[in-house]
């Protein structure tokens, strides 16, 4: 088995690397959290061993392109719901939202709500339709009745832009987080993440990626449940009454009662709506999420997955809200969780994003801290693996097989190409992670959502519902959406003013989605209406058959029989 | 899909029933979700004070503000709406789809 040949030496190397770091462990570390965290490392190694076992098992079952991209289409709705929730509950949302609540109180909830409300829209408008029309990627749907080369190029480019932006943010976050949690040097962490995800995806394809994601989702949900309810118990003097906890939190927090209502996060109505649109419709344009709908057997399972995913994600966000508030009560002022115990004013150890991690220690000591650190690492691995697979599919299935080779290559060549693409993307992710170490990457996730909402989502939605759309219209709107979202972010307050240091931003809003989505939809409409070509007439005519397949699932890709 | 099959499905009255029932239903639910969410965002933008009001005026006033049940309510409503869609899809749309398939295939 090729898997054994490569996997075992690489695993050994990894463990040796870990051992080397153990040996070189920083004995005089300034803060305890930056020294080696042994329980966390042991639990993480158990996770890695388990997931590599799964990858080995999955490698035996991954032979065809369908296996590689969609796990043979044999994932159930319940499993896929957990996997989708796993893709969505990144370390950034776990640590970031609880940290935001810890810092500002109520404002953190506004983000959670925005991230969640995209899911029902996905269920009502695109989940079943995607499953009925597509095969491996959302570009299949977008190019269903249109000209293959330009549509695939657009869809794959937009997918890759989103994937790469998201990857950079994840890799930099991973390096920093692992540095704090495990005491491993930044570059080591980035390289370990890169090597592991290359192994998961290259050998085990979508089957391994899905199961890694499911296991991580279960671990994260159970860990967060223990922390949130344990902390609520402690912060409410054993009464489990949130009112008691909120009362204490408002007594302790500098902002007092203000943390119980919306604060400064949302200033202008335009920013608020624009952010809301990006969060809501960006979700419906994330390629690694859309790809999950092809792993289930049919449209019924596809919509079931969204139901479960919405439940898990919503529950998870309520937990992060509880965690943020109980962290205010249990951590604030405690010298054990101070960045500098000698300082006059108390600040939290590791920064606001470490609120949930410190809280784990307050609730369950080193063991729970180790567990949640291992889960956070596992979370990054799983999310990066999903992103890499989505990016690799855009390269191999959309760009290589359909654009460059015009569909004239066999399946084995395509699978080989997707593995090459996976390794390439994994290496690029490591390099970008190292290059961007010192950069402010927080805006990249916002940009990824803006692009997803302004390019991927409009062409996907309109190709399903707008019978009069033509290739020319999709080109105009899709590219305009992609370019305008990117330009508006670069010229806006976050990049132009805060990062590049210019006095005044050229584009006045931080969140461009309201404008870039409008541009995209208008572009699609105008481009389609003005298109009188013979091609446009054929595309209008082809809508009838597409719509029938979309509505009934007759002719849709079935599940693999094995 | 072959032309005659498309034609057979398109001329089946059950197909039209399925499409019109499902379209009405899904766009209604979509609009409900958008209205709930946009309403929440507009409240934050224009009426922060309302969300910061205690749930029980007291005395003593509760610490929990209206914003918390409203925010959590939006999260719960998202889940409930997906549940409502599934329920009706299982009962009505899947049945119609099965019948159409039996008749034309």
For the cut 80, the answer to whether the pLDDT of residue A139 exceeds it is yes
Contact B15 A548 (CB under 8 A): yes
pLDDT one-digit tens code per residue, B69-98: 999 999 999 999 999 999 999 889 989 998
pLDDT at A37: 76
* DSSP 8-state assignment for residue A298: S
- CA angle A496–A284–A157, rounded 5-degree value: 60
Nearest to B1 among A318, A321, A545 (CB): A545
Q: Which residues of A touch B74 (CB under 8 A)?
A: 113, 116-117
Q: How close, in Å, is residue A221 to chain B by CA atoms?
A: 17
Kindly report the nearest CA distance between residue B48 and chain A, in angstroms.
Answer: 6
> Out of A112, A125, A544, whose CB is closest to B30?
A125
Higher pLDDT pick, A210 / A557 = A210
Of B10, B86, B94, the CB nearest to A307: B86
Q: In whole angstroms, give the CA distance from residue A389 to residue A419.
A: 9
Say which residue the tokens 């657009």 belong to.
A154
- The pLDDT score that the predictor gives to residue A288 is 92
Long-range contacts: A546-550, Cβ < 8 Å, 24+? Answer: A546/A133, A546/A144, A546/A145, A547/A467, A548/B1, A548/B6, A548/B9, A548/B10, A548/B15, A549/A132, A549/A133, A549/B1, A550/A129, A550/A132, A550/A133, A550/A464
Question: Which residue in the block uniquely carries the two structure tokens 């809508």?
Answer: A543
| Alpha-helix runs per DSSP H in chain B | 3-10, 13-46, 48-51, 67-88, 94-104
User: What is the 8-class DSSP label of residue A35?
Assistant: S
> In this predicted structure, what is the pLDDT of residue A33?
45
- Number of residues that this document lists for chain A: 562
Please tell me if residue B72 touches chain A, with a CB cutoff of 8 Å.
yes
Is a pLDDT exceeding 80 seen at residue A447? yes
A423 class by beta-carbon count within 10 Å (0-12 exposed, 13-18 middle, 19+ buried): middle
CA distance A314 to chain B (A): 6
Residue A246 has its nearest CB partner, among B29, B63, B79, at B63
- What whole-number distance in Å separates Cα of residue A129 and Cα of residue A436? 38
CB–CB of B15 and A116 under 8 A?
no
Name which of A120, A545, A549 is nearest B29 (Cβ-Cβ). Answer: A120
Residue B54 DSSP symbol:
B
Judged against a pLDDT cut of 50, whether residue A546 lies above it is answered with yes
Q: Are B15 and A552 in contact (CB under 8 A)?
A: yes
Kindly report the average pLDDT of chain A as a whole number: 86
Q: How far is B18 from chain A (nearest CA, A)?
A: 8
Q: Which domains can be identified in chain A, with CATH numbers?
A: 2-451 (1.20.1730.10)
The arithmetic mean of pLDDT across residues A94-108, rounded, is 88
Hey, are the CB atoms on A553 and B71 less than 8 Å from each other? no
Q: Mean per-residue pLDDT for A12-17?
A: 48
CB atoms A545 and B75 under 8 Å: no
Is the CB of B44 less than 8 angstroms away from the CB of A266? yes
Distance of CA A228 to the CA centre of its chain: 22
pLDDT of residue A303 exceeding 60, the answer is yes
A551 and B30 in contact by Cβ < 8 A? no
A109-123, A168-182, A227-241: least confidently modelled range: A168-182
Going by the DSSP 8-state scheme, the letter that residue A348 receives in this structure is B
Q: Does A558 touch chain B (CB under 8 A)?
A: no
Which chain B residue has the Cα nearest residue A309? B79
Tell me, yes or no, if B35 comes closer than 8 A to chain A by beta carbon.
Answer: no
Confidence class for position A459, pLDDT limits 50, 70, 90? very high
C-beta of residue A436 within 8 angstroms of C-beta of residue A173 = no
pLDDT tier for residue A373 given thresholds of 50, 70 and 90:
confident
- Contact check, Cβ <8 Å, A552/B71: no
What pLDDT is attached to residue B25? 95
pLDDT at A111: 83
Query: Could you say which of A261, A303, A545 has the minimum Cβ distance to residue B65?
Result: A261
Looking at the complex, does the CB of residue A298 fall below 8 Å from at least one CB of chain B? no
- Is B57 part of the contact surface with chain A (CB cutoff 8 Å)? no
B83 shares contact with chain A (CB less than 8 Å):
yes
CB-based contact B10 A109, cutoff 8 Å: no
Cβ contacts of B87 within 8 Å, gap of 6 or more: none
Confidence of residue A6 (pLDDT cuts 50, 70, 90): low
Q: Quote the distance between the C-alpha of residue A491 and its chain's center.
A: 25
Instruction: Return the structure tokens found at A391.
Output: 């990016």
Of A233-237, A338-342, A504-508, the least confident = A338-342
- Three-state SS string over A61-123 comes to HCCCHHHHHHHHHCECHHHHHHHHHHHHCCHHHHHHHHHHHHHHCCHHHHHHHHHHCHHHHHH
The beta-carbon neighbor of A117 closest among B18, B78, B89 is: B78
Which of B63, B68, B81 is closest, CB to CB, to A120? B81
CB contacts of A266 in chain B (<8 Å) are 41, 44-45
Chain A residues lying within 8 Å of B34, measured CB to CB: 121
Model confidence at A223: pLDDT above 60: yes
Q: Determine the pLDDT at residue A31.
A: 42
In whole angstroms, give the CA distance from residue A381 to residue A193. 6
Which residue numbers in chain B have pLDDT < 50? none
pLDDT reported for residue A226: 95
For the CA atoms of A85, A86, A91, A93, the dihedral, rounded to the nearest 10 degrees, stands at: -10
**Least confident among A247-251, A302-306, A344-348:** A344-348
| pTM (two decimals) | 0.89
- The C-alpha angle A406, A410, A411, rounded to 5 degrees, equals 110
Residue A530 contacts B where some CB pair is shorter than 8 Å: no
Residue B54, burial from CB neighbour count under 10 angstroms (0-12, 13-18, 19+): middle
pLDDT digits (tens, 9 = 90+) for A315-369: 999 999 999 999 999 998 888 888 887 777 888 887 788 889 999 999 988 889 8
Q: Which of B10, B35, B37, B100 would you mutate first to test chain A, the one with the most A CBs within 10 A?
A: B37
Are residues A545 and B6, on separate chains, in Cβ contact within 8 Å?
Answer: yes
Q: Tell me whether A117 touches chain B (CB under 8 Å).
A: yes
Q: What ranges make up the beta strands (E) of A178-253?
A: none
- Kindly list the residues from chain A whose CB atom is less than 8 angstroms away from the CB atom of residue B101: 552, 554
DSSP label at residue A295 = S
Res A511: pLDDT: 87
- SS3 of A384, please? helix
Q: Hey, is A512 helix, strand or coil?
A: coil
**Rounded Cα–Cα distance for residues A540 and A547 (Å):** 11
Q: Measured between CB atoms, which of A120, A258, A555 is closest to B33?
A: A120
Is there a contact between A261 and B52 if contact means CB atoms under 8 Å apart?
A: yes
3-state secondary structure at position A296: strand
């Amino acid at each position: 088995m090729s898997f054994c040949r490569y996997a075992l030496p690489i695993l050994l190397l990894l463990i040796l690397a870990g051992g080397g770091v153990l040996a070189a462990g920083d004995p005089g570390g300034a803060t305890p959290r930056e020294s080696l965290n042994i329980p966390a490392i042991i639990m993480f190694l158990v996770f890695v061993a388990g997931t590599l076992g799964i990858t080995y098992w999955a490698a035996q079952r991954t032979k065809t392109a369908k296996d590689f991209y969609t796990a043979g289409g044999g994932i159930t709705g319940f499993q896929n719901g957990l996997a989708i929730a796993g893709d969505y509950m990144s370390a950034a949302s776990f640590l970031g939202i609880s940290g935001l609540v810890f810092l500002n109180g109520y404002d953190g909830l506004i983000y959670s709500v925005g991230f969640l409300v995209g899911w029902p829209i996905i269920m009502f408008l695109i989940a079943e339709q995607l499953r009925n029309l597509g095969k491996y990627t959302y570009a299949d749907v977008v190019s269903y009745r249109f000209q293959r080369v330009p549509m695939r190029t657009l869809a794959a480019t937009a997918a890759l832009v989103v994937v790469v932006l998201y990857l950079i943010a994840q890799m930099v976050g991973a390096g920093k987080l692992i540095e704090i949690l495990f005491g491993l040097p930044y570059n080591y962490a980035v390289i370990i993440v890169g090597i592991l995800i290359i192994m998961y995806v290259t050998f085990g394809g979508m089957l391994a990626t899905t199961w890694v994601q499911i296991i991580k989702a279960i671990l994260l949900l159970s860990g967060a449940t223990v922390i949130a309810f344990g902390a609520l118990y402690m912060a409410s003097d054993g009464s489990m009454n949130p009112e008691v906890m909120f009362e204490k939190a408002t007594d302790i927090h500098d902002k007092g009662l203000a943390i119980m209502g919306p604060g400064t996060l949302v200033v202008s109505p335009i920013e608020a709506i624009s952010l809301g649109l990006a969060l809501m419709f960006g979700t419906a344009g994330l390629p690694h999420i859309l790809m999950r709908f092809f792993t289930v057997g049919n449209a019924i399972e596809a919509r079931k997955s969204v139901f479960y995913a919405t439940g898990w994600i919503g529950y998870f966000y309520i937990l992060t809200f509880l965690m943020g508030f109980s962290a205010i009560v249990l951590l604030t002022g405690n010298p054990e969780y101070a960045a500098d115990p000698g300082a006059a004013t108390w600040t939290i150890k590791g920064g606001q994003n470490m609120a949930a991690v410190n809280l784990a220690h307050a609730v369950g000591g080193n063991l729970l801290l180790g567990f949640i650190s291992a889960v956070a690492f596992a979370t990054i691995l799983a999310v990066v693996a999903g992103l890499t697979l989505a990016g690799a599919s855009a390269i191999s299935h959309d760009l290589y097989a359909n654009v460059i080779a015009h569909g004239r290559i066999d399946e084995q060549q395509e699978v080989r190409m997707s593995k090459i693409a996976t390794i390439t993307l994994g290496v690029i992710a490591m390099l970008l992670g190292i290059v961007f170490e010192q950069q402010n990457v927080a805006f990249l996730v916002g940009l990824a959502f803006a692009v997803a909402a302004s390019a991927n989502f409009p062409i996907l939605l309109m190709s399903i519902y707008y019978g009069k759309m033509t290739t020319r219209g999709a080109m105009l709107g899709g590219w305009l959406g992609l370019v305008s979202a990117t330009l508006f972010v670069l010229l806006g307050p976050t990049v132009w003013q805060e990062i590049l240091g210019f006095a005044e931003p050229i584009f006045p809003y931080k969140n461009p989605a309201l404008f870039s989505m409008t541009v995209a939809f208008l572009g699609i409409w105008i481009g389609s209406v003005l298109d009188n070509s013979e091609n446009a007439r054929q595309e209008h005519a082809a809508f009838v058959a597409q719509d029938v397949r979309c509505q009934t699932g007759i002719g849709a890709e079935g599940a693999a029989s094995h | 899909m072959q032309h005659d099959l498309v034609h057979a499905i398109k001329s089946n009255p059950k197909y039209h029933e399925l499409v019109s029932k499902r379209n009405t239903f899904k766009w209604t639910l979509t609009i409900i979700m958008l209205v709930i969410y946009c309403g929440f965002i507009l409240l934050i933008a224009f009426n922060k004070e309302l969300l910061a009001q205690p749930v029980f005026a007291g005395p003593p006033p509760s610490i929990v503000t209206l914003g918390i049940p409203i925010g959590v309510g939006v999260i719960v409503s998202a889940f409930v709406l997906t549940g409502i869609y599934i329920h009706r899809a299982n009962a009505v749309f899947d049945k119609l789809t099965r019948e159409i398939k039996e008749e034309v295939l």
